[in-house]
Amino acid sequence: MSKVIYSLMFGLHDYVGHIYQYHSSISKICEINSWEHIGLVPKNCKIDIPKSWKKLLAKGGWEDKSLKQNIISFWKNFLFFKNFLRNRKSDEVLFIEHFSLFNVLSLVLSLFFTKPKCQFWVLHRFVFPKFGIKTIAYKAFHWLVKLKSGRNHLVLLTDSDLLAKEQSSLFKKKVTVVPIPHTNISSGIEKKYSEEISMWWPGGSTRWDKGLDYVNALSRQLQSKKGIKLILADSAVGKILKSENVIYLPTSLGSEKYYKLMKSVNIVLIPYIPSEYKLRTSGIFVEAITSGAKVITFKNTWMAYELGKYGLEEYLAINPEEFCFERVMQVIQLNLDDKIKFMKNEYEAFHSENNYANLIKDLSF
């Protein structure tokens, strides 16, 4: 059955983060299934977008917005959805995977004034407290979709089997695990970054929950070292101690350069905070594994759990207090080629656009 998938990209502003890459993959996935894909993005989105994506949503981004700005965006999105949902058909899907509380509230309010026939696919990426305000809002949204559109018109998704168990219990509904599809790694082996040892902390979002303090501490330890390079996005300028050992690259690194670098560095640093990433996934981790890169991460995270499936947790997952230059070098020197290659092959099979396309065919009604 042919479908039209509408991707709601509330937060798309630039290439930082996963939003653009993720929904570019959704476009390809729809093409594989002979479905139509339409992206709905904020009017102030400043990047070039495909012809099938439309600038119809209120001003995007929420990390630096004031309460007043959030309320204005909420109201404008509500006015848009109140009309938009009235015209949706049974062969159409609203796909939501990156959103704020105010975004969901705009949908909640619009459902009071509409009775859409479309299906809603909602991908939740976080652990929610049983009685938290976000949980209550999401449950209200789920309930309204089922009330207004029909019980089978709500499909809950996540990209972590650990989260799926948690969310199934919380929302009292089946949660389907889907791949992380934006892993189009080209074949072949790249030469190492240089004759020096190279360590890369990938991603443009240089936040505390991604290990900013640990990377900063590592940069200090490298000051007296020769032949060692720490590679960072230039969004980290001013956050990391200035040093000759630190190399800054553009935050919005092109895909070709990004994947080439992923395959050429000695190690990819993923020191994500366990309390934040115990069940939560990392697209960068999946990209690193599918490129065959060696990674180092922390125990008691989703990344460590995934490494454990392939006998790699004991080598590549450490305690946060162990994260230092000497420990990173120990991991670099380990010979784990066979184990990493096996995990890479398994990941390439699961975390792919083709597999995603096959899985979501079963979500049709």
Residue 70's domain is classified under what CATH number?
3.40.50.2000
Report phi then psi at 231, rounded to 5: -105, 130
Instruction: Look at residue 158 and give its three-state secondary structure.
Output: strand
- Examine residue 191 and state whether it is found in any structural domain, yes or no: no
Same domain, 240 and 174: no
**pTM, rounded to two decimals:** 0.91
Contacts 24+ apart (CB under 8 A), 333-336: 334/294, 336/294, 336/312
Report the pLDDT averaged over residues 311-333: 97
pLDDT, position 363: 79
Same domain, 214 and 333: yes
- Examine residue 362 and state whether it is found in any structural domain, yes or no: no
Same domain, 153 and 251: no
pLDDT, position 67: 86
Report the number of distinct structural domains present in the chain.
Answer: 2
Same domain, 90 and 236: no
* Domain hosting residue 110, numbered range: 4-178
Same domain, 21 and 91: yes
Same domain, 57 and 124: yes
Tokens linked to 186: 């080209």
The CA–CA distances, whole Å, from 144 to 85, 86, 124, 139, 147 equal 13, 15, 17, 9, 5
Confidence of residue 108 (pLDDT cuts 50, 70, 90): very high
The model's pLDDT over 14-23, given as tens digits with 9 standing for 90+, comes to: 888 889 999 9
Which strands, in side-by-side order, build the sheet including 295-298?
246-249, 228-233, 197-200, 267-270, 295-298, 317-318
- Examine residue 190 and state whether it is found in any structural domain, yes or no: no
